[in-house]
Amino acid sequence: MNNNELFHIADSWFKNQAWKPFPFQKQVWRAYLQGKNGLLNAPTGSGKTYALWVPIVLDYIKNNPDYKCKPHKGVLAIWVTPLRALSVEIKNSTERFVDEIGVPLTVGIRTGDTSQKERAAQNRSLPNLLITTPESLQLLLASKGYDKKFRSLTSVVTDEWHELLGSKRGIQMELALSRIKSIAPNLRIWGISATIGNLDQAREVLLGTGSKAYENSVLIKAKIKKKITVKSIIPKKMEIFPWRGHLGLHLLEEVIPIINKSKTTLLFTNTRSQCEIWYQKILEKHPELAGEMAMHHGSINKKTRVWVENAIRDATLKAVVCTSSLDLGVDFAPVETIIQIGGPKGVARFIQRAGRSGHQPGKESVIYFLPTHAMELIEASALQQAVKAQKVEDRIPYLNSYDVLVQYLTTLAVSDGFYPEEIYQELITTFCYQSLTHDQFGWILNFITLGSQSLQAYDEFQKVEIEEDGRFKVNNRGVAMRHRLQIGTIVSDAVLTVKFLKGGYLGSIEEWFISKLKPGDVFTFAGRNLELFRIKNMQVLVKKSKQRASVVPSWMGGRMSLSSEMSQLLREELYAVAELLNDREEYALDKPDVLEKINAKPLSRELKSLMPIFKRQVKESIVPAQSQLLIETFKTREGYHNVFYPFEGRFVHEAMGSLLAYRISLLTPITFSIAFNDYGFELLSDQKLDMQQVLDNDLFSPQFLKSDLEKSLNATEMARRKFRDIAVIAGLVFTGYPNKLIKSKHLQSSSQLLFSVFKDYEPGNLLLQQAYTETFEHQLEEGRLQIALDRISSQDIIWKACTKPTPFSFPIITDRLREKLSSEKLADRIKRMLISLEKL
């Protein structure tokens, strides 16, 4: 059959569905049949599944003329999705196509949810199309004879590649593909990604830097543009002091008419605790919504989540309060309206969420923005601009993640074993390990075989063995089993399952939260008030409680930073305001006609509504203009506050704060605690800081950036936290058998402890160094910091000594999560803490 005849099969099937193929779908079909690899840039709900599944099947027909009568044996294509929840949807779509055109291909799913029985059946013979996750794919690489199973593969499709790209799950895909490329001679590799800033790089990472696959590849863009309308909910009364963490509940009543007006509304919150609270409060104030409202977040038990998802699809719910858990995934046609509670921090996330509504072609997406504190209205104003300009963030891929490599090599050693030179050649064609040297690779090999870099007497280290022919292999069954249980790169806190005393599973909760509660305490979880009965065998047993006041668990990891795109847009908004305010003659805020004048300016509604706050801000300070960096100092009962406003997002501020604190501490022995948010950072001390001295010494200099950052205590603390994940991924910490009270208690240890031991005894350890690299590149965003410092060096520094906290400073100084930095001797610090204690 030639290509035209093949296309005819697809076209007539589309016609039968009363559909017309999009141009991008046809483009992909053509490219695929020409034997190309590629990346398809298309949003969810645009028919991207058929863009790739159709040509995979057509190609099969082409190569198997007797396809109708002879069922195909073995796996033909693997479809990788980051979200298990998506797999059923994909299975239905793909089955529908092959069933209706009469091609007897089988479709199967293999994820963490797949039953043991089904797995066993799959192990005997894989389905023709296997839908799976990056983790399950790694597990297949850990099974014996995987190379024979994969030899027949014609394609691997990685769906939602943008979600994987900036994460270690993305590296798992790079590694799996590098292996499969060598095994399957007729392989085509495709990815599907939503719009991100670095699509070209996304293609390179997927296909492998400098690889043949990359050379023979295309980037196809769907070019479907959606109309998005952003509406801010502006409080009628503006608070002058915008506290952090108000959760936005004071605007709750504004949400109700919006919910009532549309078929289904999704309310996105940024954290799970915020989600719980909003759900509770809406029901409390509007009991009539009971039964029509639900909640969805990652800690709620899966059954409930699936139920909620189905209910959305069936249009039986008016409103769902949710977190990023509903960012991705299945299309929910009945969703008409989105409400974003609190700043979404990134353009891509905001557009993605907006896109959850108005899914039918031609319909516009409507998203309401509900600010949790007044300053977020500036963000809203910036978002309007961002949506217009489609300014979407990059997803930065990882480089040289030794932890994932350690895990991967052990995986290969667990299945059939590997020969290092062969694998090394594959590794250096991946993006992540393109610069991996022989020395580093040798270090990793020593690490997994010797547990150190040299053989020592009386050592009982046991993991990977080197067999006589040079094959690296795991022969110990215990090692293999523990490794299989630990495959994966998503590390979560120790979680306990929450259950009713009488039975009934509610979800899971982080150990550190529950450990703060005593039996009898009441907390809110999964939308209910629960009384803690007791904790036993990794289970939290609870009873229903009628008590109303309760604690809401907060989940770690809920803190996001403004992206550099958002920060830039945010600053531009402020500059516009500053320009206005600095013209004091004409816009003196106490003049009666000034509001009219301001209204005539091309400022957004949001900014106009913030005028009372700006007015209070300029009373003692300023709104910084483009050429200015603002510093405010004032004293409260808590000590001396020094607040800086670079408006660069919290991660950059975290870094800049510790950098400055370190540099100041070189001038004089002093201890700071550092707080930061998306707008600025604060150095709080019990001693008065000589700000003039800071300015005179040019402490914002971008010179010696890295070495200064490294020396700040802060980097170590951050690296310590990064190391936690690295230690688990590299298999240094065993997280236990699932649902079993840990029998291996002697093997449990906190990664904190491990970090200290490595730091003291093996500072050259690559995994330890990786913790620092990740801290600098991913957490501190060193690159962004450099750019920010360059910008600051061209600005005038405006130092305002204020008598009281200003509106801008309020959200920062009330932040309770802090870093610290000290140049004083430990003993001195303690002694001084004691003196001040006595004074109280």
Partner 1 sequence: MEITIGDTLFTLHPSGAIFWPDQKMVMIADVHLGKISHFRKFGSAIPQKAIETNFNRLSVVVSYFNPDKICFLGDLFHSTLNSEWGMFEAWVKNQSSTIILIKGNHDIISPSLFSKLGIQIERELLINQFLLTHHPEKRDGLFNFSGHIHPGIKIRGTGRQSLSLPCFYRQPNQLTLPAFGAFTGKFLVTPKNGDAIYAITEDEVIEI
657-660: Cβ within 8 A, 24+ apart: 657/681, 657/682, 657/683, 657/819, 658/709, 658/712, 658/713, 658/714, 658/715, 658/819, 658/821, 659/705, 659/708, 659/709, 659/712, 659/785, 660/694, 660/699, 660/700
Q: What are phi and psi of 3, to 5 degrees?
A: -60, -35
Strand duo 335-341 + 264-268: pairing: parallel
Binding mask 391-430 for partner 1 (x = CB under 8 A): ----------------------------------------
Is residue 463 at the binding interface for partner 1, with CB under 8 A as the rule?
yes
Work out whether the CA dihedral 628, 629, 632, 633 comes out positive or negative.
negative
Are β-strands 671-676 and 681-685 bridged in parallel, bridged antiparallel, or unpaired?
antiparallel
Kind and range of the H or E run holding 204: helix 199-207
Q: Which of 35, 71, 145, 478 binds partner 1 (CB under 8 A)?
A: 478
Residue 580 vs 684, nearer CB to partner 1: 684
Using CB under 8 A, pick the residue from 7, 368, 672, 810 that binds partner 1: 672
Q: Which stretch binds partner 1 (CB under 8 A): 80-88, 155-163, 279-287, 684-692?
A: 684-692
Shortest gap between Cβ of 797 and partner 1 (angstroms)? 23
Q: Is 739 exposed, middle or buried (0-12, 13-18, 19+ CB in 10 A)?
A: exposed
CB of 443 to partner 1, least distance (A): 12
Q: Could you say which DSSP state residue 648 is in?
A: S
Residue 62, interface with partner 1 (CB under 8 A)?
Answer: no
Query: Which of the ranges 154-162, 206-214, 609-617, 729-737 carries the binding residues for partner 1, by CB under 8 A?
Result: 729-737
313 binds partner 1 (CB under 8 A): no
Residue nearer to partner 1 on the CB measure, 251 or 535: 535
Closest listed residue to residue 240, CA positions, set 823, 837, 831, 805 = 805
Give the nearest distance from C-beta 640 to partner 1 in angstroms.
8
Among the listed ranges 191-199, 444-452, 546-554, 565-573, the one in contact with partner 1 (CB under 8 A) is 444-452
DSSP string, 98-141: HHHHT----EEEESTTS-HHHHHHHHHS--SEEEE-HHHHHHHH
Question: Which residues within the stretch 749-778 sit at the binding site for partner 1 (CB under 8 A)?
Answer: 749-750, 752-754, 757-758, 760-762, 765
Q: If binding means CB under 8 A, how many residues of this protein chain bind partner 1?
A: 53
Q: Does 694 bind partner 1 (CB under 8 A)?
A: no
C-beta closer to partner 1: residue 461 or 737: 461
Q: Which residues are within 8 A (CB) of 416 and not within 5 positions of it... i.e. 6 or more apart?
A: 144, 145, 146, 147, 473
Q: Decide if 264 contacts 319 (C-beta within 8 A).
A: yes
Interface segment toward partner 1; rule CB under 8 A; list 104-112, 276-284, 385-393, 667-675: 667-675
First to last CA, the chain: 89
Residue 829 interacting with partner 1 (CB under 8 A) = yes
Q: Is 440 in the site for partner 1 (CB under 8 A)?
A: no
For partner 1, what does the binding mask look like between residues 6 and 45, x meaning CB under 8 A? Answer: ----------------------------------------
The verdict on 484 binding partner 1 (CB under 8 A) reads no
At 115, the amino acid letter reads S
218 is written with which tokens?
């295309």
Which residue from 451, 527, 558, 612 is in contact with partner 1, where contact means CB under 8 A?
451
**Rule CB under 8 A: is residue 837 a binding residue for partner 1?**
yes
**Residue list 154-193, contact with partner 1 (CB under 8 A):** none
* Residue 513 binds partner 1 (CB under 8 A): no
The DSSP annotation for 719-754 comes to HHHHHHHHHHHTTSS----TTS--S-GGG---HHHH
- Is the four-CA dihedral 574, 609, 563, 244 of positive or negative sign? positive
Give 422 or 638: the residue with its C-beta nearer to partner 1.
638
| Contact assessment for residue 13 and residue 157, using Cβ atoms and an 8 Å cutoff | no
- CB 680, min distance to partner 1, A: 17
Render 524-576 in DSSP notation, one character per residue. EETTEEEEEEEEETTEEEEEE------B----TT------HHHHHHHHHHHHH
Residue closer to partner 1 (CB basis): 231 or 635: 635
**Whether the Cβ atoms of residue 268 and residue 341 lie closer than 8 Å to each other:** yes
The span of 61-69, 342-350, 477-485, 793-801 binding partner 1 (CB under 8 A) equals 477-485
Q: Looking at 18, 290, 600, 827, which residue binds partner 1 (CB under 8 A)?
A: 827
- Candidates 452, 475, 547, 627: give the one binding partner 1 (CB under 8 A): 452
How many Å apart are CA 92 and CA 587, to the nearest integer?
62
Complex with partner 1: residue 164 or 732, whichever CB lies closer: 732
Q: State which of positions 732-751 bind partner 1 (CB under 8 A).
A: 732-734, 744, 746-747, 749-750
- Which of 2, 115, 116, 458: binder of partner 1 (CB under 8 A)? 458
Give the residue among 314, 411, 379, 454 at the shortest CA–CA distance from 679.
Answer: 379
- Residues 221, 24 contacting (CB under 8 angstroms): yes
Smallest gap from Cβ 451 to partner 1, in A, equals 4
Give 489's DSSP letter.
Answer: S
Stretch binding partner 1 (CB under 8 A), from 89-97, 135-143, 329-337, 727-735:
727-735
Pair type for strands 671-676 and 819-822: antiparallel
521 binds partner 1 (CB under 8 A): no
How far is Cα 106 from Cα 99, in angstroms, rounded to an integer? 9
Beta carbon of residue 368, minimum distance to partner 1 (angstroms, whole number): 36
Q: What is the C-alpha separation between 281 and 250, in angstroms, rounded?
A: 11
Residue of 19, 243, 307, 461 that binds partner 1 (CB under 8 A)? 461
Closest CA relative to residue 726, chosen from 775, 659, 764: 775
State in angstroms the smallest separation of the CB of 745 from partner 1. 10
Beta-bridge partner residues of 341: 370
By CB under 8 A, residue 290 contacts partner 1: no
- The interface region with partner 1, picked from 210-218, 510-518, 670-678, 789-797 by CB under 8 A, is 670-678
| Least Cβ distance, residue 294 to partner 1 (angstroms) | 39
CB of 428 to partner 1, least distance (A): 24
**Of residues 66, 439, 460, 596, which one binds partner 1 by CB under 8 A?**
460
Q: How far apart are CA 684 and CA 633, in angstroms?
A: 10
State the nearest-atom distance from the C-beta of 485 to partner 1, in Å: 12
- Binding test (CB under 8 A) with partner 1, winner from 381, 400, 673, 775: 673
Residues 6+ positions from 429 with CB-CB distance below 8 Å: 178, 208, 209, 210, 211
Q: Is 814 in the site for partner 1 (CB under 8 A)?
A: no
Q: Which of 228-263 are b and which e, b meaning 16 or more Cβ less than 10 Å from the residue's Cβ?
A: bebbbbbbeebeeebebebbbbebbebbeebbeebe
Taking the least distance from each CB to partner 1, the nearer of 501 and 747 is: 747
b (16+ CB within 10 A) / e for 7-18: bebbbebbeeee
Query: Residue 518 Cβ, how far from partner 1 at the closest point, in Å?
Result: 14
Q: Is 633 one of the binding residues for partner 1 (CB under 8 A)? A: no
The window from 70-78, 474-482, 615-623, 696-704 that contacts partner 1 (CB under 8 A) reads 474-482
Least Cα distance to 172 among 409, 485, 393 occurs for 409
State in angstroms the smallest separation of the CB of 817 from partner 1: 10
Is 831 among the residues that bind partner 1 (CB under 8 A)? yes
The count of C-alpha atoms lying within 13 angstroms of the C-alpha of 551, restricted to the half-sphere facing its C-beta, is 15
Residues of this chain that interact with partner 1 (CB under 8 A) are 447, 451-452, 456, 458-463, 478-479, 482-483, 638-639, 671-673, 684-686, 731-734, 744, 746-747, 749-750, 752-754, 757-758, 760-762, 765, 818, 820, 822, 826-827, 829-834, 836-837
